[in-house]
Amino acid sequence: MENIRQAVERAKLHCEQSGIIREPPRQPARRIFGDSQESIQRVQEVELDIAQLESQRIVAFDGNDPRSRSFDILRTEVLQSMDLNGWKTIAITSPSSSCGKTVTAVNLALSMARLRERQVLLVDLDLRKPNVAPCLGLECREGLVGVLEKRIELHEAIVKARVGECSFEVLPTAPASNSSDLISATATRAMLENIEGTSASQIVILDLPPLLAGHDVISILPYLDCVLLVAAMGVTKISEVKECNKYLKATEVVRFVLNKVPESSVPYVYY
């Protein structure tokens, strides 16, 4: 044991004399965020698992993948509208569950993040049933909920995620039993103001709960720049879309995405 200890000390001395700085190992993608203040501060970047992403239909990190084409088209249309109006925040919602809004939000974030001149922050604001972290292969015990309830700071909850050459920031969340109260609270509006405009090139994508699932979305609509509404063939009813339109009259709806359209009938559709 003494010989081992001496060898370790000699190795350390050699590194110091040579000016070698050992970088800490990159954290695995399934790191559990929110375990403690200290662990959050140590997390700098995670490498996402490609197999996990593809199992969740997350494909837009690869611009050479034909499946990313629809999200790239959506990206171009959305960014044109946002740049024209000076918008920085886009919220993604759906009339009901199972429409694919989170898959759309994550793929859109990755497609935008492939543009070197853009910085992207993806925020999971679906406090009822958060799915961004599971979609990316992450686990989250605090995240946004911890920020809103003042247990952790905003910068401590944000995760830097990378897959290949594509990198972006993610603010995941754990579910909250009082989701409506939290989203309606002043702290949520203050948080949105805090993350907006931190960089002139930053785009903030908010994954919201389904619009008709409660009043969570309705309470935050006045504070959003624009909304993208995702519906799904075979899932969404026309009456639900009409009901959504009533709530979105005073909100800028930047695009309407019809999801789950059979590929054989429509050549290019959004997932």
Domains in the chain (CATH in brackets) are 25-259 (3.40.50.300)
Q: If you average pLDDT over residues 88-107, what whole number do you get?
A: 96
| CA–CA dist 128, 148 (Å, integer) | 14
Report CA Rg, the chain: 21
Q: What is the mean pLDDT of the chain?
A: 83
The position carrying tokens 């290949």 is 164
Which residue, 95, 33, 63, is CA-closest to 248? 95
What is the sign, positive or negative, of the torsion defined by CA atoms of 237, 242, 243, 249?
positive
Torsion angles phi and psi, residue 52, rounded to 5: -65, -45
pTM of the model: 0.80
Can you give the pLDDT at residue 212?
94
Per the CB < 8 A criterion, the answer to whether 104 and 210 are in contact is: no
Task: Note the pLDDT tens digit of each residue in 215-230.
Answer: 889 989 999 999 999 9
Q: In what order do the strands lie in the sheet with 202-207?
A: 46-47, 159-163, 166-171, 119-124, 202-207, 89-93, 226-232, 253-259
Task: Note the pLDDT tens digit of each residue in 179-196.
Answer: 888 888 888 888 888 887
- Least confident among 64-68, 153-157, 253-257, 266-270: 266-270
| CA–CA dist 270, 147 (Å, integer) | 33
Q: Quick check: helix, strand or coil at residue 24?
A: coil
Task: Note the pLDDT tens digit of each residue in 6-53.
Answer: 544 554 444 444 333 333 333 444 444 444 444 444 445 899 999 999
